[in-house]
């Protein structure tokens, strides 16, 4: 397995990690046997970075991951997040970056995961009511206490990243990044390169869109969160489907799945990027890891970038209420 380092002094991880949300929820209700088989195969193939959050299933995802990885912690890098709250019904419940809340959230995650130390701890959403220096200061105290090894932020803007990094070095910033969502290229990627921080790219397949298998959003399961996302609304989805032709043609030329080509592109953008595609299916995991074997030519990359110009996707990448929570 190829590896990459998260930040200047962060942990070395597999060049492709596993986003764990879909193992328990988010895209319908997967069979537990499928989720466990995918985790087993990921470990067998050398995947070492596993990404979860206390927001996923209101903690249930952490508990599932902790139980599934019990007894095989060695060599794995477990990342989780805090501060993106859920209400009693499991929906968005605001954000919390207060310094007194940070250790409470950490202790709860440690219990659910069944571990003594979180390898990479992110603030999941920036709290606009709390100076980032105060939140990261509390996170830094977790490092001093040995409860956390490395720190990160999710969906943070350039000024916030710079100010946070001055308090305690960040190893990673996590944001959505794919052919379909290239917003990070304008300011975030250059800043991370300057500061020596890795980009952990979530949804590097556009929530499955770039895999090309979904032909009609009406096929989505009733509990699939994509039903709420503007890019998957019927009119927008039909327009977005037309973007896929060059990607699918390249996939055919390489004898690979579109997902493999889309991830290969992300990997070739910078050695400082680690994508964390999520899946609960072994076949999809294998297609994702195939990206490590594919070397796109400059011409092929240019073709994809011309087809997926920034702003070319129809619809916002989040529903408006959730988009407002991003600290960008």
pLDDT in tens, 122-158: 999 999 999 999 999 999 999 999 999 999 999 999 9
Known active-site residue 56: yes
Contact assessment for residue 95 and residue 85, using Cβ atoms and an 8 Å cutoff:
yes
Query: pLDDT (tens digit, 9 = 90+) per residue, 277-320?
Result: 999 999 999 999 999 999 999 999 999 999 999 989 998 888 77
Cβ-based neighbour number of residue 42 at 10 Å: 25
Q: Which residue in 56, 122, 177, 202 is the catalytic one?
A: 56
Q: Is the pLDDT of residue 244 over 70?
A: yes
Contact assessment for residue 80 and residue 50, using Cβ atoms and an 8 Å cutoff:
no
Query: Which is nearest to 211 in space by CA: 296, 268, 283, 272?
Result: 283
Q: How many residues does the chain have?
A: 328
Q: Quick one: pLDDT at residue 39?
A: 95
Question: What's phi and psi for 102, nearest 5 deg?
Answer: -55, -50
Q: Quick one: pLDDT at residue 117?
A: 97
CATH H-level superfamily of 3-208+269-292 = NADP-dependent oxidoreductase domain (3.20.20.100)
Question: Token pair for residue 133?
Answer: 């220096």
Contact assessment for residue 128 and residue 327, using Cβ atoms and an 8 Å cutoff:
yes
- State what percent of residues in the chain have pLDDT above 70: 99
- State what percent of residues in the chain have pLDDT above 90: 80
Structure letter (DSSP) for residue 209: G
pTM of the full predicted structure? Answer: 0.94
DSSP 219-268: GS-TTBGGGGSGGGSHHHHHHHHGGGHHHHHHHHHHTS-HHHHHHHHHHH
Cα gap 53→154, rounded to integer Å: 11
Contact assessment for residue 47 and residue 14, using Cβ atoms and an 8 Å cutoff:
yes
């Amino acid at each position: 397995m190829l590896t990459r380092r998260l930040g200047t002094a962060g942990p070395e991880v597999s060049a492709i990690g596993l986003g764990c949300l879909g193992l328990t929820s988010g895209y319908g209700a997967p069979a537990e046997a499928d989720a466990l088989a995918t985790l087993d195969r990921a470990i067998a193939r050398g995947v070492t970075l596993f990404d979860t959050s206390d927001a996923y299933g209101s903690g249930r995802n952490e508990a599932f991951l902790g139980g599934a990885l019990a007894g095989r912690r060695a060599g794995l890098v477990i990342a989780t997040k805090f501060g993106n709250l859920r209400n009693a019904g499991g929906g968005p419940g605001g954000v919390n970056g207060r310094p007194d809340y940070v250790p409470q959230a950490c202790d709860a995650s440690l219990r659910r995961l069944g571990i003594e130390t979180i390898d990479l701890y992110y603030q999941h959403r920036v709290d606009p009511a709390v100076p980032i220096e105060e939140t990261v200061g509390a996170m830094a105290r977790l490092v001093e206490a040995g409860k956390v090894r490395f720190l990160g932020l999710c969906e943070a803007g350039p000024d916030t990243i710079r100010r946070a990094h001055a308090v305690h070095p960040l190893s990673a910033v996590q944001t959505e990044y794919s052919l379909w969502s290239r917003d990070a290229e304008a300011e975030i990627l250059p800043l991370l390169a300057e500061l020596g921080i890795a980009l952990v790219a979530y949804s590097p397949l556009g929530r499955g869109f770039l895999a090309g298998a979904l032909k009609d959003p009406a096929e989505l399961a009733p509990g699939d969160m994509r039903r709420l996302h503007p890019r998957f609304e019927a009119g927008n989805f039909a327009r977005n489907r037309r973007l896929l032709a060059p990607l699918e043609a390249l996939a055919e030329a390489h004898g690979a799945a579109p997902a493999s080509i889309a991830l290969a592109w992300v990997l070739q953008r910078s050695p400082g990027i680690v994508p964390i595609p999520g899946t609960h299916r072994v076949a999809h995991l294998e297609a994702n890891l195939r990206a490590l074997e594919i070397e796109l030519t400059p011409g092929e990359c240019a073709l994809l970038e011309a087809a997926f110009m920034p702003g070319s996707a129809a619809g916002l990448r989040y529903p408006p209420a959730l988009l407002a929570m991003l600290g960008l």
